[in-house]
Amino acid sequence: MKNVLSFVLFLAFIIAMYGFAFASAPVSDPPGKKVFVDSKCQTCHSVTSLGLESKKKKDVSDLSDVGGSLKADFIEKYLLKKEKIEGKAHPSNFKGSEEDLKNLASWLASLKKAK
Ligand code: HEC
């Protein structure tokens, strides 16, 4: 009986340590941000709210507040040229995987400026 109790305590201890290690792990960038950087969207766009600068002298469009006007599933279609904004399709067609596109779109949809 005593053995069982110490075993249970031991298990609880391991679980607690595991949770602690997990909770204190460094916060990494969301996957969508990595896709954005890797896909060279910054050739034309910036996200100034996160310090991502565009490589163009004249910025096409800053996406810091894109989540305020567009939803993730619209962004997905728009980046595949299946949707248009004011009659115009996006100039570039997303060529990455479906998973990358989902991560990218949901990350963009989460970008909102504090009002
Ligand atoms: C060749 C330049 C270029 C590249 C590269 C580019 N875009 Fe765009 N993007 C545009 C233009 C032009 C528009 C439409 C005009 C505007 O929104 O200012 C636009 C519009 C958008 C919009 C809609 C913005 C809004 O609020 O209407 C989103 C979202 C977007 N792009 C995401 C991306 C993502 C994600 C990538 C990378 C996969 C990317 N773009 C790469 C030029 C580019």
pLDDT in tens, 78-98: 999 999 999 999 999 999 999
The preferred substitution site among 66, 90, 97, 101 for testing ligand 1, maximizing ligand atoms within 8 Å of CB, is 90
pLDDT in tens, 20-69: 666 655 668 899 999 999 999 999 999 999 999 998 766 678 999 999 99
For ligand 1, atom 18, the nearest C-alpha belongs to: 61
User: Residue 69 CA: which ligand 1 atom is closest?
Assistant: 26
Instruction: Give me the amino acid identity at 17.
Output: M
**pLDDT value at 74 more than 90:** yes
What b/e readout covers 48-81, taking b as 16+ CB neighbours within 10 angstroms? eeeebebeeeeeeebbbbbbeebebeebbebbee
